[in-house]
Structure 1
Protein backbone atom coordinates (compact mmCIF):
# COMPACT_ATOMS: atom_id res chain seq x y z
CA UNK A 1 0.00 0.00 0.00
CA UNK A 2 2.99 2.29 -0.45
CA UNK A 3 1.96 5.53 -2.20
CA UNK A 4 -1.73 4.76 -1.56
CA UNK A 5 -3.95 7.32 0.19
CA UNK A 6 -6.76 5.94 2.33
CA UNK A 7 -9.53 8.05 3.87
CA UNK A 8 -11.38 6.60 6.86
CA UNK A 9 -14.40 8.11 8.60
CA UNK A 10 -15.01 7.34 12.26
CA UNK A 11 -11.30 6.67 12.58
CA UNK A 12 -10.76 7.38 16.27
CA UNK A 13 -12.35 4.26 17.74
CA UNK A 14 -13.64 0.78 16.95
CA UNK A 15 -13.31 -0.61 13.44
CA UNK A 16 -12.13 2.68 11.97
CA UNK A 17 -9.23 3.00 14.38
CA UNK A 18 -8.27 -0.67 13.99
CA UNK A 19 -8.33 -0.36 10.19
CA UNK A 20 -6.25 2.82 10.33
CA UNK A 21 -3.55 1.15 12.42
CA UNK A 22 -3.43 -1.89 10.13
CA UNK A 23 -3.29 0.17 6.95
CA UNK A 24 -0.54 2.29 8.48
CA UNK A 25 1.43 -0.93 8.94
CA UNK A 26 1.20 -1.51 5.18
CA UNK A 27 2.74 1.88 4.45
CA UNK A 28 -0.43 3.61 3.29
CA UNK A 29 -0.89 7.34 3.81
CA UNK A 30 -3.99 8.13 5.84
CA UNK A 31 -6.69 10.77 5.98
CA UNK A 32 -8.71 10.38 9.18
CA UNK A 33 -12.12 11.94 9.83
CA UNK A 34 -13.87 12.13 13.19
CA UNK A 35 -15.86 14.56 15.31
CA UNK A 36 -13.48 13.95 18.24
CA UNK A 37 -10.43 16.15 17.68
CA UNK A 38 -8.59 15.07 20.83
CA UNK A 39 -8.79 11.39 19.92
CA UNK A 40 -7.94 12.22 16.32
CA UNK A 41 -4.69 13.94 17.21
CA UNK A 42 -3.82 11.11 19.60
CA UNK A 43 -4.16 8.39 16.97
CA UNK A 44 -2.25 10.50 14.45
CA UNK A 45 0.67 10.79 16.87
CA UNK A 46 0.45 7.08 17.62
CA UNK A 47 0.66 6.20 13.92
CA UNK A 48 3.50 8.65 13.23
CA UNK A 49 5.58 7.34 16.12
CA UNK A 50 5.14 3.70 15.11
CA UNK A 51 5.11 3.80 11.32
CA UNK A 52 6.53 7.16 10.27
CA UNK A 53 3.74 7.26 7.71
CA UNK A 54 1.90 10.32 6.46
CA UNK A 55 -1.36 10.87 8.32
CA UNK A 56 -3.65 13.89 8.48
CA UNK A 57 -6.69 14.40 10.69
CA UNK A 58 -9.79 16.45 9.91
CA UNK A 59 -12.48 17.23 12.45
CA UNK A 60 -15.95 16.70 10.99
CA UNK A 61 -19.29 15.36 12.15
CA UNK A 62 -20.48 13.10 9.34
CA UNK A 63 -24.11 13.73 10.33
CA UNK A 64 -23.81 17.41 9.40
CA UNK A 65 -24.08 18.04 5.67
CA UNK A 66 -22.52 21.47 6.15
CA UNK A 67 -19.47 19.99 7.86
CA UNK A 68 -19.16 17.26 5.22
CA UNK A 69 -19.17 19.88 2.46
CA UNK A 70 -16.55 21.95 4.25
CA UNK A 71 -14.22 19.06 5.00
CA UNK A 72 -14.54 17.77 1.43
CA UNK A 73 -13.30 21.11 0.12
CA UNK A 74 -10.37 21.05 2.54
CA UNK A 75 -9.40 17.54 1.46
CA UNK A 76 -9.60 18.47 -2.22
CA UNK A 77 -7.35 21.42 -1.50
CA UNK A 78 -4.78 19.34 0.40
CA UNK A 79 -4.67 16.20 -1.78
CA UNK A 80 -4.84 15.57 -5.52
CA UNK A 81 -6.34 12.08 -5.32
CA UNK A 82 -7.64 9.35 -3.02
CA UNK A 83 -7.14 5.62 -3.56
CA UNK A 84 -9.44 4.18 -0.89
CA UNK A 85 -12.50 5.64 0.83
CA UNK A 86 -13.75 3.71 3.85
CA UNK A 87 -17.19 4.94 4.95
CA UNK A 88 -17.11 3.58 8.47
CA UNK A 89 -18.52 6.17 10.90
CA UNK A 90 -21.78 5.00 12.39
CA UNK A 91 -24.14 5.43 15.31
CA UNK A 92 -27.31 4.03 16.81
CA UNK A 93 -29.58 6.27 18.86
CA UNK A 94 -32.13 4.94 21.30
CA UNK A 95 -34.11 8.18 21.13
CA UNK A 96 -35.26 10.36 18.27
CA UNK A 97 -32.83 13.13 17.37
CA UNK A 98 -32.41 15.36 14.32
CA UNK A 99 -29.29 16.86 12.80
CA UNK A 100 -28.94 20.57 12.04
CA UNK A 101 -30.78 20.10 8.76
CA UNK A 102 -33.78 18.45 10.45
CA UNK A 103 -32.94 14.92 9.29
CA UNK A 104 -33.26 11.91 11.60
CA UNK A 105 -29.81 11.46 13.09
CA UNK A 106 -29.27 7.73 12.48
CA UNK A 107 -30.06 8.12 8.78
CA UNK A 108 -27.95 11.29 8.52
CA UNK A 109 -24.96 9.69 10.24
CA UNK A 110 -24.97 6.21 8.76
CA UNK A 111 -26.02 6.98 5.20
CA UNK A 112 -26.54 10.56 4.11
CA UNK A 113 -23.22 12.02 5.27
CA UNK A 114 -21.31 9.25 3.54
CA UNK A 115 -23.39 9.65 0.39
CA UNK A 116 -22.43 13.33 0.26
CA UNK A 117 -18.78 12.68 1.13
CA UNK A 118 -18.43 10.02 -1.56
CA UNK A 119 -20.02 12.09 -4.30
CA UNK A 120 -17.98 15.12 -3.27
CA UNK A 121 -14.73 13.17 -3.56
CA UNK A 122 -15.60 10.94 -6.53
CA UNK A 123 -13.36 12.88 -8.93
CA UNK A 124 -10.42 12.35 -6.57
CA UNK A 125 -11.11 8.61 -6.59
CA UNK A 126 -11.24 8.64 -10.39
CA UNK A 127 -7.66 9.96 -10.41
CA UNK A 128 -6.48 6.79 -8.66
CA UNK A 129 -5.13 3.93 -10.74
CA UNK A 130 -7.68 1.75 -8.95
CA UNK A 131 -10.05 3.56 -6.60
CA UNK A 132 -11.98 1.66 -3.96
CA UNK A 133 -15.05 2.61 -1.93
CA UNK A 134 -15.88 0.44 1.08
CA UNK A 135 -19.16 0.95 2.93
CA UNK A 136 -19.62 -0.56 6.38
CA UNK A 137 -23.10 -2.09 6.57
CA UNK A 138 -24.38 -4.72 9.00
CA UNK A 139 -26.44 -7.88 9.22
CA UNK A 140 -28.96 -5.56 10.90
CA UNK A 141 -29.88 -4.34 7.40
CA UNK A 142 -32.28 -7.30 7.34
CA UNK A 143 -34.33 -5.45 9.98
CA UNK A 144 -34.84 -2.55 7.60
CA UNK A 145 -37.74 -1.99 5.24
CA UNK A 146 -37.97 -0.64 1.71
CA UNK A 147 -40.38 2.18 2.63
CA UNK A 148 -38.68 5.56 2.43
CA UNK A 149 -41.61 7.89 3.01
CA UNK A 150 -40.78 8.59 6.68
CA UNK A 151 -37.08 7.80 6.80
CA UNK A 152 -36.10 11.48 7.05
CA UNK A 153 -38.46 12.38 9.91
CA UNK A 154 -40.35 9.33 11.22
CA UNK A 155 -43.60 9.97 13.05
CA UNK A 156 -43.02 6.99 15.34
CA UNK A 157 -39.33 6.39 16.06
CA UNK A 158 -38.13 2.81 16.45
CA UNK A 159 -34.39 2.55 17.14
CA UNK A 160 -34.13 -0.98 15.74
CA UNK A 161 -35.94 -0.05 12.54
CA UNK A 162 -34.04 3.23 12.16
CA UNK A 163 -30.69 1.49 12.45
CA UNK A 164 -31.73 -1.37 10.17
CA UNK A 165 -32.97 1.02 7.51
CA UNK A 166 -29.75 3.02 7.64
CA UNK A 167 -27.72 -0.15 7.12
CA UNK A 168 -30.05 -1.20 4.30
CA UNK A 169 -29.44 2.24 2.79
CA UNK A 170 -25.71 1.47 2.85
CA UNK A 171 -26.38 -1.50 0.59
CA UNK A 172 -28.70 0.36 -1.77
CA UNK A 173 -25.99 3.00 -2.08
CA UNK A 174 -23.28 0.39 -2.64
CA UNK A 175 -25.12 -1.44 -5.39
CA UNK A 176 -26.35 1.70 -7.16
CA UNK A 177 -22.97 3.43 -7.02
CA UNK A 178 -21.20 0.30 -8.28
CA UNK A 179 -23.62 0.16 -11.20
CA UNK A 180 -23.05 3.80 -12.08
CA UNK A 181 -19.26 3.39 -11.91
CA UNK A 182 -18.98 0.07 -13.72
CA UNK A 183 -17.18 1.67 -16.69
CA UNK A 184 -14.66 3.38 -14.38
CA UNK A 185 -11.66 2.10 -12.44
CA UNK A 186 -13.49 2.49 -9.12
CA UNK A 187 -14.89 -0.50 -7.24
CA UNK A 188 -17.60 -0.22 -4.60
CA UNK A 189 -18.28 -2.92 -2.01
CA UNK A 190 -19.98 -3.30 1.37
CA UNK A 191 -18.94 -5.14 4.52
CA UNK A 192 -20.76 -6.86 7.35
CA UNK A 193 -18.12 -6.58 10.10
CA UNK A 194 -19.98 -8.96 12.42
CA UNK A 195 -21.02 -8.31 16.01
CA UNK A 196 -18.39 -5.86 17.18
CA UNK A 197 -17.52 -4.59 20.64
CA UNK A 198 -17.62 -0.82 19.96
CA UNK A 199 -18.97 2.26 21.69
CA UNK A 200 -21.14 3.52 18.83
CA UNK A 201 -24.49 3.23 20.64
CA UNK A 202 -25.08 6.60 22.22
CA UNK A 203 -27.76 8.28 24.34
CA UNK A 204 -29.15 5.00 25.61
CA UNK A 205 -30.33 6.44 28.91
CA UNK A 206 -28.66 3.79 31.05
CA UNK A 207 -27.04 4.69 34.34
CA UNK A 208 -23.21 4.21 34.35
CA UNK A 209 -23.04 1.00 36.39
CA UNK A 210 -25.66 -0.66 34.18
CA UNK A 211 -23.80 0.42 31.04
CA UNK A 212 -20.61 -1.08 32.42
CA UNK A 213 -22.29 -4.35 33.37
CA UNK A 214 -24.11 -4.77 30.06
CA UNK A 215 -20.96 -3.89 28.12
CA UNK A 216 -19.06 -6.58 30.00
CA UNK A 217 -21.72 -9.22 29.28
CA UNK A 218 -22.09 -8.27 25.62
CA UNK A 219 -18.36 -8.09 24.99
CA UNK A 220 -18.03 -11.74 25.98
CA UNK A 221 -20.01 -12.60 22.83
CA UNK A 222 -18.71 -9.93 20.47
CA UNK A 223 -15.60 -9.89 18.30
CA UNK A 224 -12.93 -7.26 18.69
CA UNK A 225 -12.65 -4.24 16.37
CA UNK A 226 -9.27 -5.60 15.32
CA UNK A 227 -10.86 -8.84 14.10
CA UNK A 228 -13.79 -7.03 12.51
CA UNK A 229 -11.47 -4.70 10.60
CA UNK A 230 -9.75 -7.58 8.78
CA UNK A 231 -12.29 -7.71 5.95
CA UNK A 232 -12.20 -3.92 5.62
CA UNK A 233 -8.41 -3.94 5.25
CA UNK A 234 -8.67 -6.90 2.85
CA UNK A 235 -11.04 -4.99 0.58
CA UNK A 236 -8.83 -1.91 0.80
CA UNK A 237 -5.57 -3.61 -0.04
CA UNK A 238 -5.87 -7.07 -1.60
CA UNK A 239 -5.25 -7.65 -5.31
CA UNK A 240 -7.73 -10.54 -5.08
CA UNK A 241 -10.64 -8.09 -4.99
CA UNK A 242 -9.17 -5.40 -7.20
CA UNK A 243 -11.74 -5.97 -9.94
CA UNK A 244 -14.71 -7.01 -7.80
CA UNK A 245 -17.48 -4.45 -7.37
CA UNK A 246 -21.06 -4.27 -6.16
CA UNK A 247 -20.69 -7.09 -3.65
CA UNK A 248 -21.30 -7.69 0.06
CA UNK A 249 -18.54 -9.27 2.15
CA UNK A 250 -18.34 -11.08 5.47
CA UNK A 251 -15.10 -12.58 6.79
CA UNK A 252 -13.36 -11.91 3.45
CA UNK A 253 -15.98 -13.82 1.47
CA UNK A 254 -18.80 -12.64 -0.79
CA UNK A 255 -22.23 -13.29 0.70
CA UNK A 256 -25.79 -12.44 -0.27
CA UNK A 257 -27.58 -9.58 1.42
CA UNK A 258 -31.33 -9.57 2.05
CA UNK A 259 -33.68 -9.88 -0.90
CA UNK A 260 -35.00 -6.37 -0.18
CA UNK A 261 -31.51 -4.91 -0.63
CA UNK A 262 -31.47 -5.86 -4.32
CA UNK A 263 -34.50 -3.71 -5.20
CA UNK A 264 -33.24 -1.46 -8.00
CA UNK A 265 -36.40 0.61 -7.78
CA UNK A 266 -35.88 1.42 -4.09
CA UNK A 267 -32.17 2.02 -4.65
CA UNK A 268 -33.03 4.60 -7.30
CA UNK A 269 -35.62 6.26 -5.04
CA UNK A 270 -33.05 6.47 -2.24
CA UNK A 271 -30.48 7.88 -4.66
CA UNK A 272 -32.85 10.63 -5.80
CA UNK A 273 -33.89 11.39 -2.21
CA UNK A 274 -30.25 11.58 -1.13
CA UNK A 275 -29.39 13.93 -4.00
CA UNK A 276 -32.24 16.21 -2.95
CA UNK A 277 -31.37 16.19 0.75
CA UNK A 278 -27.68 16.90 0.10
CA UNK A 279 -28.21 19.40 -2.71
CA UNK A 280 -26.12 17.38 -5.14
CA UNK A 281 -28.60 16.99 -8.00
CA UNK A 282 -25.97 18.40 -10.37
CA UNK A 283 -23.52 15.59 -9.57
CA UNK A 284 -24.50 13.02 -12.18
CA UNK A 285 -22.25 10.29 -13.52
Structure 2
Protein backbone atom coordinates (compact mmCIF):
# COMPACT_ATOMS: atom_id res chain seq x y z
CA UNK A 1 0.00 0.00 0.00
CA UNK A 2 1.60 3.29 -1.05
CA UNK A 3 1.80 6.36 1.16
CA UNK A 4 -1.28 8.15 -0.24
CA UNK A 5 -3.47 5.07 -0.24
CA UNK A 6 -2.40 4.19 3.29
CA UNK A 7 -2.78 7.70 4.66
CA UNK A 8 -5.97 6.91 6.57
CA UNK A 9 -5.26 3.26 7.43
CA UNK A 10 -6.73 2.32 10.79
CA UNK A 11 -8.90 5.43 10.93
CA UNK A 12 -12.69 5.70 10.89
CA UNK A 13 -14.49 8.51 9.07
CA UNK A 14 -18.19 9.40 9.08
CA UNK A 15 -19.43 11.17 5.93
CA UNK A 16 -23.01 12.49 5.91
CA UNK A 17 -24.98 12.84 2.69
CA UNK A 18 -22.74 10.28 0.99
CA UNK A 19 -25.03 8.72 -1.62
CA UNK A 20 -24.33 11.18 -4.44
CA UNK A 21 -22.29 14.16 -5.54
CA UNK A 22 -19.53 15.52 -3.32
CA UNK A 23 -20.42 13.27 -0.37
CA UNK A 24 -20.18 10.08 -2.39
CA UNK A 25 -16.88 11.17 -3.91
CA UNK A 26 -15.57 12.07 -0.45
CA UNK A 27 -16.50 8.68 0.99
CA UNK A 28 -14.95 6.80 -1.92
CA UNK A 29 -11.81 8.98 -1.86
CA UNK A 30 -11.25 8.47 1.87
CA UNK A 31 -11.86 4.73 1.57
CA UNK A 32 -9.24 4.62 -1.20
CA UNK A 33 -6.80 6.14 1.30
CA UNK A 34 -7.39 3.31 3.73
CA UNK A 35 -10.12 4.75 5.97
CA UNK A 36 -12.97 2.68 7.30
CA UNK A 37 -15.91 4.78 6.09
CA UNK A 38 -19.25 5.12 7.84
CA UNK A 39 -21.66 6.80 5.44
CA UNK A 40 -25.19 8.13 5.63
CA UNK A 41 -28.03 8.68 3.19
CA UNK A 42 -31.81 8.90 3.15
CA UNK A 43 -32.23 5.92 0.80
CA UNK A 44 -31.26 2.53 2.14
CA UNK A 45 -30.68 1.18 -1.36
CA UNK A 46 -28.45 4.04 -2.47
CA UNK A 47 -26.52 4.05 0.80
CA UNK A 48 -25.84 0.33 0.50
CA UNK A 49 -24.84 0.80 -3.15
CA UNK A 50 -22.04 3.18 -2.13
CA UNK A 51 -20.94 0.85 0.67
CA UNK A 52 -20.85 -2.07 -1.77
CA UNK A 53 -18.83 0.01 -4.24
CA UNK A 54 -16.28 0.79 -1.53
CA UNK A 55 -16.05 -2.88 -0.49
CA UNK A 56 -15.71 -4.02 -4.11
CA UNK A 57 -12.64 -1.77 -4.38
CA UNK A 58 -11.05 -3.38 -1.33
CA UNK A 59 -12.25 -0.88 1.27
CA UNK A 60 -14.47 -1.25 4.33
CA UNK A 61 -17.70 0.61 5.02
CA UNK A 62 -20.75 0.80 7.26
CA UNK A 63 -23.99 2.21 5.88
CA UNK A 64 -26.48 4.16 8.01
CA UNK A 65 -29.88 5.30 6.77
CA UNK A 66 -31.07 8.64 8.16
CA UNK A 67 -32.95 11.73 7.05
CA UNK A 68 -30.93 14.36 8.86
CA UNK A 69 -33.66 16.98 8.58
CA UNK A 70 -35.28 15.02 11.43
CA UNK A 71 -33.69 15.54 14.84
CA UNK A 72 -34.89 12.13 16.01
CA UNK A 73 -33.05 10.54 13.11
CA UNK A 74 -29.90 12.61 13.79
CA UNK A 75 -29.97 11.32 17.36
CA UNK A 76 -30.58 7.74 16.23
CA UNK A 77 -27.70 8.04 13.76
CA UNK A 78 -25.39 9.25 16.51
CA UNK A 79 -26.44 6.32 18.72
CA UNK A 80 -25.89 3.85 15.87
CA UNK A 81 -22.46 5.27 15.06
CA UNK A 82 -21.40 5.21 18.72
CA UNK A 83 -22.55 1.59 18.97
CA UNK A 84 -20.90 0.50 15.71
CA UNK A 85 -17.68 2.54 15.61
CA UNK A 86 -15.38 2.24 18.63
CA UNK A 87 -13.32 5.12 17.28
CA UNK A 88 -14.12 8.18 15.17
CA UNK A 89 -11.18 10.04 13.69
CA UNK A 90 -12.99 12.34 11.27
CA UNK A 91 -16.55 13.65 10.94
CA UNK A 92 -17.33 15.15 7.54
CA UNK A 93 -20.53 17.21 7.77
CA UNK A 94 -21.37 17.12 4.08
CA UNK A 95 -25.16 16.82 3.95
CA UNK A 96 -27.04 19.87 2.68
CA UNK A 97 -29.74 21.10 0.37
CA UNK A 98 -31.44 24.03 -1.33
CA UNK A 99 -35.17 24.69 -1.62
CA UNK A 100 -36.63 27.58 -3.55
CA UNK A 101 -39.86 27.53 -1.55
CA UNK A 102 -40.27 27.23 2.21
CA UNK A 103 -40.66 23.67 3.51
CA UNK A 104 -41.08 22.47 7.08
CA UNK A 105 -39.44 19.40 8.59
CA UNK A 106 -41.16 16.83 10.81
CA UNK A 107 -39.99 18.99 13.72
CA UNK A 108 -41.79 22.05 12.30
CA UNK A 109 -38.53 23.81 11.36
CA UNK A 110 -37.59 25.45 8.08
CA UNK A 111 -35.84 22.72 6.09
CA UNK A 112 -32.79 24.63 4.82
CA UNK A 113 -31.84 25.83 8.29
CA UNK A 114 -32.65 22.45 9.83
CA UNK A 115 -30.66 20.31 7.39
CA UNK A 116 -27.78 22.60 6.52
CA UNK A 117 -27.05 23.98 9.99
CA UNK A 118 -28.95 22.30 12.81
CA UNK A 119 -28.19 18.75 11.61
CA UNK A 120 -24.39 19.16 11.67
CA UNK A 121 -24.65 21.24 14.85
CA UNK A 122 -26.54 18.47 16.65
CA UNK A 123 -24.63 15.53 15.18
CA UNK A 124 -21.25 17.09 15.93
CA UNK A 125 -22.19 17.77 19.54
CA UNK A 126 -23.51 14.23 20.01
CA UNK A 127 -20.30 12.70 18.63
CA UNK A 128 -17.85 15.13 20.22
CA UNK A 129 -16.91 12.91 23.16
CA UNK A 130 -16.09 9.99 20.85
CA UNK A 131 -13.99 12.25 18.64
CA UNK A 132 -12.18 13.64 21.68
CA UNK A 133 -11.47 10.16 23.06
CA UNK A 134 -10.17 9.02 19.67
CA UNK A 135 -8.04 12.17 19.12
CA UNK A 136 -6.27 13.55 17.30
CA UNK A 137 -9.56 13.94 15.43
CA UNK A 138 -11.03 16.33 12.90
CA UNK A 139 -14.42 17.87 12.16
CA UNK A 140 -14.77 19.01 8.55
CA UNK A 141 -17.88 20.93 7.51
CA UNK A 142 -18.87 21.67 3.92
CA UNK A 143 -20.05 25.25 3.50
CA UNK A 144 -20.06 27.33 0.31
CA UNK A 145 -18.81 30.63 -1.02
CA UNK A 146 -22.48 31.60 -0.62
CA UNK A 147 -21.48 32.33 2.98
CA UNK A 148 -20.13 35.63 1.68
CA UNK A 149 -23.69 36.76 0.87
CA UNK A 150 -25.15 35.36 4.06
CA UNK A 151 -26.62 37.25 7.00
CA UNK A 152 -27.69 35.67 10.27
CA UNK A 153 -31.16 37.03 11.00
CA UNK A 154 -31.40 36.24 14.71
CA UNK A 155 -35.00 37.47 14.76
CA UNK A 156 -36.14 35.32 11.83
CA UNK A 157 -33.74 32.40 11.47
CA UNK A 158 -36.39 30.24 9.82
CA UNK A 159 -37.78 32.67 7.30
CA UNK A 160 -41.21 32.88 8.91
CA UNK A 161 -41.67 36.57 8.12
CA UNK A 162 -40.21 36.50 4.63
CA UNK A 163 -38.66 33.57 2.79
CA UNK A 164 -36.20 33.46 -0.07
CA UNK A 165 -34.50 30.22 -1.08
CA UNK A 166 -31.20 31.92 -1.78
CA UNK A 167 -31.33 34.00 1.41
CA UNK A 168 -32.07 30.89 3.49
CA UNK A 169 -29.25 28.98 1.81
CA UNK A 170 -26.73 31.80 2.17
CA UNK A 171 -27.61 32.18 5.85
CA UNK A 172 -27.20 28.44 6.46
CA UNK A 173 -23.77 28.40 4.80
CA UNK A 174 -22.66 31.39 6.87
CA UNK A 175 -23.97 29.53 9.92
CA UNK A 176 -21.70 26.58 8.99
CA UNK A 177 -18.68 28.88 9.06
CA UNK A 178 -19.65 30.61 12.31
CA UNK A 179 -20.41 27.27 13.97
CA UNK A 180 -16.98 25.98 12.94
CA UNK A 181 -15.19 29.03 14.31
CA UNK A 182 -17.14 28.87 17.58
CA UNK A 183 -16.49 25.13 17.84
CA UNK A 184 -12.77 25.65 17.24
CA UNK A 185 -12.71 28.18 20.08
CA UNK A 186 -14.41 25.69 22.40
CA UNK A 187 -11.98 22.94 21.37
CA UNK A 188 -8.79 24.90 22.04
CA UNK A 189 -6.42 22.82 24.10
CA UNK A 190 -7.89 19.52 22.87
CA UNK A 191 -6.79 17.15 20.11
CA UNK A 192 -9.94 17.85 18.05
CA UNK A 193 -9.85 20.42 15.24
CA UNK A 194 -12.67 22.02 13.24
CA UNK A 195 -12.35 23.37 9.71
CA UNK A 196 -14.87 24.49 7.09
CA UNK A 197 -14.71 24.71 3.32
CA UNK A 198 -16.05 25.87 -0.01
CA UNK A 199 -15.90 22.89 -2.41
CA UNK A 200 -16.18 24.95 -5.59
CA UNK A 201 -19.06 25.03 -8.07
CA UNK A 202 -19.73 21.36 -8.67
CA UNK A 203 -21.87 19.54 -11.22
CA UNK A 204 -24.34 17.63 -9.03
CA UNK A 205 -28.12 17.30 -8.68
CA UNK A 206 -28.03 19.88 -5.89
CA UNK A 207 -31.31 21.81 -5.60
CA UNK A 208 -33.10 19.63 -8.14
CA UNK A 209 -36.04 18.82 -5.84
CA UNK A 210 -37.20 22.44 -5.70
CA UNK A 211 -34.99 24.52 -8.01
CA UNK A 212 -34.76 28.27 -7.90
CA UNK A 213 -34.17 30.54 -10.87
CA UNK A 214 -30.40 30.04 -10.72
CA UNK A 215 -30.75 26.27 -10.93
CA UNK A 216 -33.26 26.49 -13.78
CA UNK A 217 -31.58 29.14 -15.91
CA UNK A 218 -27.92 29.55 -15.03
CA UNK A 219 -26.79 26.01 -14.17
CA UNK A 220 -27.43 24.53 -17.66
CA UNK A 221 -25.28 27.32 -19.14
CA UNK A 222 -22.32 26.92 -16.77
CA UNK A 223 -22.55 23.12 -16.33
CA UNK A 224 -19.67 22.42 -18.78
CA UNK A 225 -17.40 24.60 -16.63
CA UNK A 226 -18.34 23.08 -13.27
CA UNK A 227 -16.10 20.80 -11.25
CA UNK A 228 -16.77 17.08 -11.20
CA UNK A 229 -17.91 15.63 -7.86
CA UNK A 230 -14.42 14.12 -7.40
CA UNK A 231 -12.84 17.53 -7.94
CA UNK A 232 -15.36 19.08 -5.55
CA UNK A 233 -14.51 16.49 -2.89
CA UNK A 234 -10.78 17.24 -3.06
CA UNK A 235 -10.80 19.92 -0.36
CA UNK A 236 -12.93 17.80 2.03
CA UNK A 237 -10.52 14.90 1.58
CA UNK A 238 -7.51 17.19 2.04
CA UNK A 239 -8.88 18.58 5.31
CA UNK A 240 -9.74 15.09 6.53
CA UNK A 241 -6.34 13.54 6.03
CA UNK A 242 -3.46 15.93 5.21
CA UNK A 243 -0.81 15.36 7.93
CA UNK A 244 0.23 19.00 7.89
CA UNK A 245 -3.29 20.06 8.95
CA UNK A 246 -3.38 18.00 12.15
CA UNK A 247 -3.30 21.11 14.34
CA UNK A 248 -5.10 23.55 12.02
CA UNK A 249 -8.45 24.66 13.42
CA UNK A 250 -10.95 27.47 12.97
CA UNK A 251 -9.96 28.08 9.34
CA UNK A 252 -12.02 28.41 6.14
CA UNK A 253 -10.62 26.68 3.04
CA UNK A 254 -11.36 27.04 -0.66
CA UNK A 255 -9.62 25.14 -3.46
CA UNK A 256 -7.52 23.38 -0.85
CA UNK A 257 -6.07 26.59 0.58
CA UNK A 258 -6.92 28.71 3.62
CA UNK A 259 -9.01 31.78 2.77
CA UNK A 260 -10.58 34.60 4.71
CA UNK A 261 -14.33 34.20 4.97
CA UNK A 262 -16.84 37.06 5.09
CA UNK A 263 -16.45 39.80 7.68
CA UNK A 264 -19.75 38.77 9.27
CA UNK A 265 -18.41 35.26 9.91
CA UNK A 266 -15.95 36.60 12.50
CA UNK A 267 -18.62 38.25 14.69
CA UNK A 268 -18.20 36.29 17.92
CA UNK A 269 -21.21 37.88 19.61
CA UNK A 270 -23.56 36.79 16.82
CA UNK A 271 -21.90 33.36 16.76
CA UNK A 272 -22.48 32.96 20.50
CA UNK A 273 -26.14 33.90 20.14
CA UNK A 274 -26.54 31.59 17.12
CA UNK A 275 -25.07 28.75 19.20
CA UNK A 276 -27.52 29.42 22.05
CA UNK A 277 -30.52 29.54 19.73
CA UNK A 278 -29.37 26.41 17.87
CA UNK A 279 -28.84 24.51 21.13
CA UNK A 280 -32.34 25.46 22.23
CA UNK A 281 -33.87 24.32 18.92
CA UNK A 282 -32.21 20.89 19.13
CA UNK A 283 -32.59 20.41 22.87
CA UNK A 284 -28.96 20.64 23.91
CA UNK A 285 -27.49 22.65 26.78
CA UNK A 286 -26.34 26.08 25.57
List gaps (5 residues or longer) in structure 2. 1-7
Q: Does 1:109 align with 2:115?
A: yes
Which of 35, 45, 54 aligns to 1:38? It is 45
Give the superposed CA RMSD: 1.6
Q: Does 1:248 align with 2:255?
A: no
Q: Give the TM-score taking structure 1 as reference length.
A: 0.93
Map 1:147-226; keep pairs closer than 5 Å: 147-204=153-210, 216-226=220-230
List gaps (5 residues or longer) in structure 1. none
Q: Give the TM-score taking structure 2 as reference length.
A: 0.93
Partner of 1:59 in structure 2?
A: 65
Q: 1:152: how far off?
A: 2.5
- Equivalent pair of 2:19/2:46 in contact (CA under 8 Å): yes
> Any idea what the Cα deviations from partners look like across 1:207-242, whole Å, max 9, x if unmatched?
xxx96x965433112111111111111111111111
User: 2:96 and 2:53 mapped to 1: Cα distance?
Assistant: 23
* Structure-2 change in CA distance of 1:263 and 1:205 (3 Å): closer
Partner of 1:24 in structure 2?
A: 31
Partner of 1:47 in structure 2?
A: 54
User: 1:215 and 1:44 mapped to 2: Cα distance?
Assistant: 30
Tell me the matched-pair count. Answer: 277
Q: Does 1:15 align with 2:25?
A: no
Partner of 2:97 in structure 1?
A: 91
* Structure-2 change in CA distance of 1:42 and 1:128 (3 Å): same
Partner of 2:262 in structure 1?
A: 258
Partner of 1:72 in structure 2?
A: 78
User: 1:105 and 1:153 mapped to 2: Cα distance?
Assistant: 10
User: 1:168 and 1:249 mapped to 2: Cα distance?
Assistant: 13
* Structure-2 change in CA distance of 1:205 and 1:88 (3 Å): closer
- Equivalent pair of 1:10/1:90 in contact (CA under 8 Å): yes
User: 1:205 and 1:170 mapped to 2: Cα distance?
Assistant: 22
1:93 aligns to what SS in structure 2? coil
- Equivalent pair of 1:176/1:267 in contact (CA under 8 Å): yes
